[in-house]
């Protein structure tokens, strides 16, 4: 826990100086134990054994003896098997949290961060395959904001690629009757009546139809090529046509994402960097690189074989033979511009973008532009037969959310809660959104997994509803105490008896800071998910074992612990995008 580390660091620094050991090893020296029931922090002395040429057990005893006189009495130091273990007094923790209102992240360095995520092509409804990107990105936005960073949530809009070109051509050249006939012949279902007024579901049918017929029609391919070429040259009339075609789809996608609590601060179009001329400048700069080469067809590239890129894709093409740019070239200009808006950049990308991301990073280095941090994630799978609606091999996110809401409603009704219909609907929507998000976030990004309803919707296991129920419990206690018109009094912590459940909860509350900081440092929200599950579990044990109200009397200490927990669970829920309901 950070508060303890801050308390022991000066004394350990002083000791290292006395032992003539480089103080730069301090951050690695003090560790979080694997088993948090053993201690709060520890110093393993095995690495020091090589430096001091002594047995780790003896070193641990010497350090323990030396530090005892340098630390406040509330820090207990013991040695075991070559470890120096530190524990902070529970009553000290209680006073720090409940009375002194300890401020988390007070000494942490804050940053201006731009997090680009989702950035899906606006050519159809948001589907489940894109869900992990959006949910991971939004969670990192929220976690960074909770930490105190100033964050821009960014959506990069592909307004000039082949997908948008196909959509624009289809809307201009195909009638609704044409589209229905083409799709029916291919065995593609008609439009789901549920989404008959949602433009992303409507227009994707034009995109699907055009993709089918263009395969065997060279004339269509030529028309598409001309459209795309003009867009890449910055033709304003073509870009305007593209914008008119995809904007309703993008709005529909954003409406879907909003059901999961996902929002953006800014939208930047790809064409911006064609229009302002920066893409052309970058292509000229890259031609001066030592890695520059020219293909037989006149295309320009950087040869990356000497930069750790192997296989068939060692060439990074940045300009076609006809002089036009590629998506990756425009990405270079985009990254350069992003650095003018923030001191830290984070990109969320699927694992299939690793090679492209590495190529872009090397090209950025050639341009003397810093490369961003990148979070790569593996893809999620859906068990066969579990979805209510399918479009070929695609499961739309709108359908998944609707399925989750229906399932949540059934569970709420089965649990026998006497809730009015309007409130029941509100709870089911909150549970559905939170459950989908958390089920994806709790798995480390680099690991693939299969989305299972029984895991996501459980009220009794490692799920969002489990955490939400703990928050609702704490709100119920708060409401009951307020109805008693309770007046808070000062507590003499030296006389307070703290049982095991209360002590475990207090120590868990102190790790809020550590867990959140670890998640944003490593760009892995799953660390904080694990913490929130532990916090909910510890609160439930406290709720079971610690009486707060008895015979209309309030146990002041227990109530203050419950209230602090309620506020921190609320903050933690918001940091993950879980909706902290006051009742369930």
The 10s digit of each residue's pLDDT in 314-327 is 999 999 999 999 99
Q: Let me know whether 64 and 160 are in one domain.
A: no
Q: Let me know whether 343 and 243 are in one domain.
A: yes
User: Which residue range(s) make up the domain with 159?
Assistant: 112-288+324-381
Q: Is residue 158 part of a domain?
A: yes
Q: Let me know whether 69 and 189 are in one domain.
A: no
Predicted confidence at residue 343, as pLDDT, reads 97
- Rounded to whole angstroms, the Cα distance separating 357 from 384 reads 32
Q: Let me know whether 18 and 58 are in one domain.
A: yes
Q: Which two tokens stand for residue 510?
A: 């102190």
Q: Let me know whether 132 and 35 are in one domain.
A: no
For position 373, which CATH number holds? Answer: 3.40.50.620
- Rounded to whole angstroms, the Cα distance separating 406 from 388 reads 11
The 10s digit of each residue's pLDDT in 366-415 is 999 999 999 999 988 877 644 333 344 578 899 999 999 998 888 888 77
Q: Which two tokens stand for residue 347?
A: 């990109």
Q: Is residue 229 part of a domain?
A: yes
Residue 171 has pLDDT above 80, yes or no: yes
Predicted confidence at residue 581, as pLDDT, reads 95
Q: Let me know whether 154 and 84 are in one domain.
A: no
Q: Is residue 27 part of a domain?
A: yes
Closest CA to 5 of 39, 45, 35, 38: 39
Q: Let me know whether 371 and 464 are in one domain.
A: no
The 10s digit of each residue's pLDDT in 252-282 is 999 999 999 999 999 999 999 999 999 999 9
Q: Is residue 458 part of a domain?
A: yes
Q: Is residue 409 part of a domain?
A: no
Q: Is residue 511 part of a domain?
A: yes
Q: Let me know whether 36 and 122 are in one domain.
A: no
The 10s digit of each residue's pLDDT in 68-77 is 889 999 999 9
pTM of the model: 0.93
3-state DSSP call for residue 583? Answer: coil
- Rounded to whole angstroms, the Cα distance separating 441 from 446 reads 11
Predicted confidence at residue 384, as pLDDT, reads 62
The 10s digit of each residue's pLDDT in 51-89 is 889 999 999 999 999 998 899 999 999 999 999 999 999
Summarize the confidence of residues 291-313 as an average pLDDT.
94
Q: Let me know whether 461 and 345 are in one domain.
A: no
76 φ/ψ sector (left φ>0, alpha ψ -120 to 50, else beta)? beta
Q: Let me know whether 64 and 199 are in one domain.
A: no
Q: Evaluate whether 570 touches 511 at the Cβ level (below 8 Å).
A: no
Predicted confidence at residue 114, as pLDDT, reads 98
Q: Evaluate whether 465 touches 573 at the Cβ level (below 8 Å).
A: no
3-state DSSP call for residue 47? Answer: helix
The 10s digit of each residue's pLDDT in 7-18 is 999 999 888 888
- Rounded to whole angstroms, the Cα distance separating 340 from 516 reads 27
Q: Let me know whether 193 and 57 are in one domain.
A: no
Q: Let me know whether 344 and 483 are in one domain.
A: no
Average pLDDT score, the chain: 92
Q: Is residue 67 part of a domain?
A: yes
3-state DSSP call for residue 25? Answer: helix
The 10s digit of each residue's pLDDT in 421-467 is 778 889 999 999 999 999 999 999 999 988 887 888 887 788 999 99
- Rounded to whole angstroms, the Cα distance separating 477 from 117 reads 39
Q: Is residue 255 part of a domain?
A: yes
pLDDT band at 348 (very low <50, low <70, confident <90, very high): very high
| Domains held by the chain: number | 3
- Rounded to whole angstroms, the Cα distance separating 258 from 250 reads 12
Q: Which two tokens stand for residue 49?
A: 């054994």
For position 69, which CATH number holds? Answer: 3.30.1360.70
For position 452, which CATH number holds? Answer: 1.10.730.10
């Amino acid at each position: 826990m950070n508060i303890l580390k801050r308390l022991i660091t000066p004394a350990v620094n002083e000791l290292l100086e006395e032992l003539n050991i480089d103080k730069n090893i301090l951050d690695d020296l003090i560790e979080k134990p694997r088993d948090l029931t053993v201690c709060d922090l520890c110093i393993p002395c095995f690495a020091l054994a090589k430096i001091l040429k002594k047995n780790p057990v003896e070193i641990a005893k010497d350090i323990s003896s030396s530090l005892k006189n340098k630390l406040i009495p509330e820090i207990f130091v013991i040695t075991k098997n070559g470890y120096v273990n530190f524990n902070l007094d529970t009553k000290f923790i209680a006073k720090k949290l409940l009375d002194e209102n300890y401020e988390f992240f007070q000494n942490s360095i804050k940053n201006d961060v731009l997090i680009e995520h989702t950035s899906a092509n606006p050519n159809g409804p948001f589907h489940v395959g894109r869900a992990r990107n959006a949910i991971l990105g939004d969670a990192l936005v929220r976690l960074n904001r909770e930490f105190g960073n100033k964050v821009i949530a960014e959506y990069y809009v592909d307004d000039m690629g082949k997908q948008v070109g196909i959509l624009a051509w289809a809307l201009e050249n195909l009638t609704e009757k044409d589209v229905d006939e083409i799709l029916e012949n291919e065995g593609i279902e008609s439009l789901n009546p549920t989404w008959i007024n949602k433009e992303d579901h409507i227009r994707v049918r034009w995109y699907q139809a055009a993709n089918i017929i263009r395969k065997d029609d060279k004339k269509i391919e030529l028309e598409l090529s001309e459209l795309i070429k003009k867009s890449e040259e910055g033709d304003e009339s073509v870009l305007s046509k593209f914008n008119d075609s995809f904007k309703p789809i993008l709005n529909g996608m954003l409406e879907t994402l909003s059901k999961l609590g996902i929002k953006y601060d800014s939208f930047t179009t790809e064409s911006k960097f064609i229009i302002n001329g920066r893409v052309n400048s970058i292509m000229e700069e890259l031609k001066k690189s030592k890695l520059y080469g020219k293909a037989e067809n006149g295309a320009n590239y950087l040869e990356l074989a000497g930069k750790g890129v192997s296989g068939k894709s060692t060439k990074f093409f940045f300009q076609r033979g006809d002089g036009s740019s590629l998506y990756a070239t425009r990405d270079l200009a985009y990254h350069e511009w992003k650095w003018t808006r923030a001191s830290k950049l984070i990109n969320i990308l699927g694992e299939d973008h690793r090679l492209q991301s590495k190529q872009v990073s090397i090209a950025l280095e050639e341009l003397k532009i810093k490369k961003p941090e990148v979070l790569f994630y593996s893809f999620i799978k859906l068990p066969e037969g579990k979805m209510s609606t399918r479009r070929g091999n695609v499961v739309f996110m709108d359908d998944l959310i609707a399925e989750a809401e229906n399932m949540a409603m059934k569970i709420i009704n089965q649990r026998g809660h006497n809730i009015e219909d309007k409130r029941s609907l509100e709870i089911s929507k909150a549970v559905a959104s939170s459950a989908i998000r958390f089920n994806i976030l709790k798995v480390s990004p680099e690991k693939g997994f299969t989305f299972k309803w029984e895991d996501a919707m459980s009220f009794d296991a490692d799920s969002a509803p489990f955490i939400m129920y703990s928050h609702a419990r704490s709100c119920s206690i708060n409401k009951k105490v307020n109805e008693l018109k309770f007046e808070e009094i000062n507590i003499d912590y030296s006389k307070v008896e703290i049982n095991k459940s209360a002590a475990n909860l207090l120590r868990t509350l102190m790790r809020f800071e550590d867990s959140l900081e670890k998640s944003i440092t490593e760009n892995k929200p799953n660390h904080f998910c694990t913490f929130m599950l532990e916090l909910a579990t510890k609160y439930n044990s406290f709720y079971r074992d610690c009486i707060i109200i008895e015979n209309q009397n309030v146990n002041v200490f227990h109530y203050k612990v419950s209230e602090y927990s309620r506020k921190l669970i609320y903050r933690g829920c918001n940091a993950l995008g879980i909706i902290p309901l006051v009742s369930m």
